[in-house]
């Protein structure tokens, strides 16, 4: 009986140690995501607005009588305005890759719906119940996991339909299923391996089911309870 109680005590200690390490890693990831969010805001509210203002000023200049009477000047201003627009487009893509504003303001489902609209393949987002409040690091990890999985499906199964299912209880689960030919595997340096490492940083796991002939399911599971009775998020 005493040996059994000692064994249980060791198991509890091991569980607490793992939970503490996971919490520590999450704190680091959260701090990293807060900094990414700050950079995103600075680019959105600063650099992007300067470029927009410059494009508007050039547009107004092109309407002047002086420019209208000088075809060479008009062409140069048109080229400059087009270059600024290309810069704006590139900046918006960069900002979205750093930390999409919609993710913080409207949540995971809305952010992924935005990704689905721009995807190269047909993507359906399913979130039947509202998700709980989720820490920045976990939220960003789940988002970028889904983005990578959608991009992989579009690359390797371009005609496949993709479904993304979001659920949360003691785990946040993000399931990405495509109707492609299957055969996906982990490989060093592959996108799936990178996903697994990023999930591990917040205590999450990545599993794949991809029989030949399909479908392929890539599932991220991230615990929302770090210790017994201690929520990792506000439920």
* 4-32 tens-digit pLDDT: 555 556 566 655 665 555 565 656 555 55
What is the bridge-based pairing of β-strands 123-126 and 162-168?
parallel
> Tokens 């409207």 identify what position?
106
* 199-228 tens-digit pLDDT: 888 889 999 999 999 899 999 999 886 544
Considering only 94-98, 129-133, 140-144, 168-172, which range has the smallest mean pLDDT?
94-98
Residue 235 has a pLDDT of: 40
Query: In this structure, what token pair is assigned to residue 227?
Result: 């210790």
Residue 231 has a pLDDT of: 47
| pLDDT mean across residues, the chain | 80
> What is the separation of C-alpha 4 from the centre of its chain, rounded to a whole number of angstroms?
45
Residue 64 has a pLDDT of: 85
Helices 136-156 and 2-42 meet at what angle, rounded to 10?
80
Q: What is the mean pLDDT of residues 180-207?
A: 82
Question: If you count them, how many residues does the chain have?
Answer: 235
Q: Could you write out the three-class secondary structure of 72-125? A: HHHHHHHHHHHHHHHHHHHHHHHHHHHCCHHHHHHCHHHHHHHHHHHCCCCEEE
Residue 89 has a pLDDT of: 80
* 57-112 tens-digit pLDDT: 888 888 888 888 888 888 888 888 888 888 888 877 776 666 788 888 899 999 99
**Residue 119 scores a pLDDT above 80:** yes
Compute the C-alpha angle 129/20/175, nearest 5°.
30
Highest mean pLDDT among 42-56, 64-78, 143-157: 143-157
Q: What is the pTM of this model?
A: 0.67
Q: pLDDT higher for 130 or 42?
A: 130
* 121-132 tens-digit pLDDT: 899 999 999 999
Highest mean pLDDT among 31-40, 48-57, 182-191: 48-57
């Amino acid at each position: 009986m005493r040996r059994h109680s000692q064994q249980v005590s060791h198991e509890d200690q091991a569980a607490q140690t793992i939970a503490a390490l996971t919490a520590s890693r999450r704190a680091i990831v959260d701090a990293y995501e807060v900094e990414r969010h700050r950079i995103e805001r600075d680019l959105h509210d600063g650099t992007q607005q300067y470029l927009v203002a410059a494009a508007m000023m050039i547009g107004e200049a092109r309407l002047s009588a002086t420019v209208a009477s000088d075809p060479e000047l008009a062409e140069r201003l048109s080229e400059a305005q087009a270059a600024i627009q290309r810069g704006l487009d590139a900046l918006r893509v960069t900002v979205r890759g750093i930390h999409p504003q919609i993710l913080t303001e409207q949540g995971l489902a809305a952010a992924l719906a935005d990704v689905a609209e721009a995807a190269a393949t047909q993507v359906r987002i399913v979130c039947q119940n509202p998700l709980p409040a989720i820490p920045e690091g976990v939220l960003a990890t789940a988002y970028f996991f889904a983005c990578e999985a959608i991009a992989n499906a579009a690359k390797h199964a371009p005609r496949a339909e993709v479904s993304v299912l979001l659920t949360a209880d003691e785990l946040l689960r993000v399931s990405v299923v495509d109707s492609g030919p299957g055969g996906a595997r982990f490989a060093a340096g592959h996108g799936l391996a990178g996903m697994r490492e990023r999930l591990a940083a917040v205590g999450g796991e990545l599993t794949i089911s991809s029989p030949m002939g399909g479908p392929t399911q890539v599932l991220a599971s991230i615990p929302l309870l770090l210790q017994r009775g201690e929520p990792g998020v506000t439920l």
